[in-house]
Amino acid sequence: MRFISINPALTRLERLLLSVFALIFVIGAFIRFPDSGFRGLIMTVFNFLHFPVFMLLYFIGQRCFIFTLPPRFSSALAARLTLFAPLLMCWVIAIFVELTQPLLQRSATWSDLMISGSGAFLGFWLLYLIHLNRMQPKPRIKAALLTVLFISAFSAISVYLLRPIYAAGQILALKHRVFPLLSTHELPHSPLHWFPLPQRDPQYKNDQTVLSVVPCPLALNTSFDAEPAPKHCIRVDPAAQSWSGLGQIFGVDTWRGYEKLEIFLSTDQDQIISLRIDDASSTHRHQDRFNREFELKSGLNHLSIPLKNLRKNSNNPQALNLSHIRKIFLFTVPSKTPIPFYLYRIYLH
């Protein structure tokens, strides 16, 4: 006797829908998305989709598979198995998906596992309510209470998971609105643009780059597009390691039609800072992107870089594709005593 078997009552349309869902599930769970301004939004949406997808996956498991027990077990236990077995199956799938993420250069997180489990559990809960109402056609306090609790839980989880999607969309909309100013650095916008470098390096758990928005230590006597000089800037406290600084990923705005990249920074001590710019064809290889070191003097520094000079290294003098600029990084050289620096303004001119 088989414990689990395919439901022979599935229609051709149901089998087709299951195949399409399985394909979408594999793409979402195991395909790595390329870096772009939309990658953060895409990944945020997929994090939310763990919730409804695993709720749907529970219903599919309950419909697609038949779980049976030997005759010596009661029919009531078999009915409970039909409800609980797909829930266990969903948890097994969720654990498997997270365990395979590091193999695909993606992060395995407890939060994704809990979101997936919550979706599967709420699917089980909803099916239990339907089963309960069929068994008790007339309204019952227990069924009514469980229904109210289910609606409350579903609404609360949905709102909580949708907030990052709204924030990610706000980032892209704000970047497009302020372009060609690549970051305003004014509260509360700065945290929406930049992220610290490196990201999630387990080798340096206790030594991470810290970004903070602070009042500018020096006055910036310049303006762009009739905007006043910034009152706030981003303070970068580098970690004692390589490639420590801050970065930004761009969306769909093109850099064509502009002549220069203008950057205003300050530092308390002389130091070397590196600028990296990637286009859509750049890879992790050094020769596939723009890399250049600049010497910062104590005080305010102005870097003005002609866009026509944005070329890959001497072994690959190809110019960057200004229509598809994807990343910009500012980072310090390795040092046992890293020196903070301040980013005032960065824009295209």
CA 150 to chain CA centroid, nearest Å: 28
Average pLDDT over residues 266-294: 87
Nearest to 215 by CA among 229, 226, 225: 229
Cis? peptide before 198, omega within 30° of 0: yes
Per-residue model confidence (pLDDT) at position 176: 78
Cα–Cα dist 239/125, whole Å: 47
Angle between helices 141-178 and 110-135 (to 10 degrees): 140
Q: 30-44, 66-80, 164-178, 270-284 — which one is most confidently predicted on average?
A: 270-284
Mean pLDDT is lowest, of 20-34, 101-115, 180-194, for 180-194
- 224 phi/psi in degrees, rounded to 5: -140, 130
Q: One-letter amino acid identity for 337?
A: T
Task: List, for residues 123-142, the tens digit of each pLDDT value.
Answer: 888 888 887 777 666 667 77
**DSSP state letters, 195-251:** EEES-S-GGGTTS--EEEEEE-SS-----BTTBPPPSEEEEEE--SSTTEEEEEE--
- How many residues belong to the chain? 349
| H or E segment and range at residue 258 | none
Instruction: Output the pTM of the full model.
Output: 0.66
Mean pLDDT is lowest, of 47-56, 289-298, 309-318, for 309-318
CB 103 within 8 A of CB 38: no
CA 17 to chain CA centroid, nearest Å: 28
Residue 295, beta-bridge partner list:
272
Average pLDDT over residues 117-122: 90
Cis? peptide before 180, omega within 30° of 0: yes
Distances (CA, A) of 276 to 39, 187, 289: 19, 25, 7
CB 232 within 8 A of CB 185: yes
Residue 290, beta-bridge partner list:
277
Distances (CA, A) of 342 to 168, 223, 298, 317, 345: 25, 17, 11, 31, 9
Task: Kindly tell me if the per-residue pLDDT of 244 is higher than 80.
Answer: yes
Average pLDDT over residues 50-71: 80
Task: Kindly tell me if the per-residue pLDDT of 191 is higher than 70.
Answer: no
Residues of the chain above pLDDT 90, percent:
14
CB 229 within 8 A of CB 221: yes
Chain position carrying tokens 């387990």: 202
- 295 phi/psi in degrees, rounded to 5: -95, 120
- 184 phi/psi in degrees, rounded to 5: -80, -30
Per-residue model confidence (pLDDT) at position 266: 93
